[in-house]
Amino acid sequence: MQPAPEVVVGFLYVGALSSLAQIMVASVRAAMPGARIVQMSDYDTKMVRGVDEIVRKHWDRKFLMPFRLLHLQDFQAERSVFLDADVVVRKNLGELFNDEFDVALTYRDESDPSLRKSPEAFELMPFNAGVMLARASGRDFWAEAYRSCLRMPEDSRRWFGDQLAIKEVAARTTLKVRQYPCALYNYSPIKPDEDMTEVYVVHYKGDIRKVWMQEQWGHLLRKSR
């Protein structure tokens, strides 16, 4: 019996180095010790401490969303987990590869309390791109999303265009797309002291949550040194 392919965790990071990305990497090391970690970046950004590899592409410093999708399209791994840099992984996402899918997305719905004040977000951007998974068989999904994003207005290509493109491609693709709830796999807390024992990934989007991330998980940096 052949061993399962390794899980490769990829994340886009450009610009000045931040301890948030280092916390994310340290959390992956703790929760997924066998995973390989790859930083997707441009030619100017420094490597985040703790990653195994950095893959660089030219970026025009204008349109970040198609730049991210281009990286995903070219990502070379049999089993990939794609994360934002402002997340903390608490449980091993590699377990999800026991399920059948080409691409797996995390979806927003009313079970996510952080979005109850903006229900329109469910329809406009039902998938949060902060946590996604893919097999090599799903690579065409990202290529289609990249082409879709290139056709969008400039504002969308600067921000949120990746999630809009992912929604569009997910609706028409013939690939097997599996959905996992954000409430369990891509959760954004509404207060700093929530019980998140069952949550696989905590997503600290927004300025105040990033402060919580620093306060609650900064100890991971000391352990990783």
Q: Is residue 171 part of a domain?
A: no
CATH number at residue 103: 3.90.550.10
Amino acid at the residue 189: P
Q: How far is CA 144 from the centre of its chain?
A: 18
- The angle subtended at Cα 180 by Cα 193 and Cα 143, nearest 5°, is 120
Q: Which of 88, 104, 40 is nearest to 66 (CA)?
A: 40
Element (H, E) at 131: strand 127-135
Q: What digits encode the pLDDT tens for the residues 185-204?
A: 999 998 998 999 999 999 99
Q: Is residue 172 part of a domain?
A: no
Give the torsion through C-alpha atoms of 96, 217, 126, 8, to 10 deg: -40
Q: Is residue 132 part of a domain?
A: yes
Q: Is residue 156 part of a domain?
A: no
**DSSP 3-state of 28:** helix
What's the domain range around 107? 7-62+69-139+179-219
CA distance 15 to 26: 19
As for how many domains the chain has, the answer is 1
Work out the pLDDT band at 124, boundaries 50, 70, 90: confident
Q: Is residue 167 part of a domain?
A: no
**DSSP 3-state of 66:** helix
Q: Is residue 225 part of a domain?
A: no
* DSSP one-letter code for 187: B
pLDDT above 60 for 116: no
Q: What digits encode the pLDDT tens for the residues 129-186?
A: 999 999 999 999 999 999 999 999 999 999 999 999 999 999 999 999 999 999 999 9
Q: Is residue 154 part of a domain?
A: no
Q: Is residue 48 part of a domain?
A: yes
Q: Mind giving me the DSSP string for 135-176?
A: EGGGHHHHHHHHHHHHTS-HHHHHTTHHHHHHHHHHHH--S-
pLDDT above 80 for 120: no
CA distance 134 to 102: 6
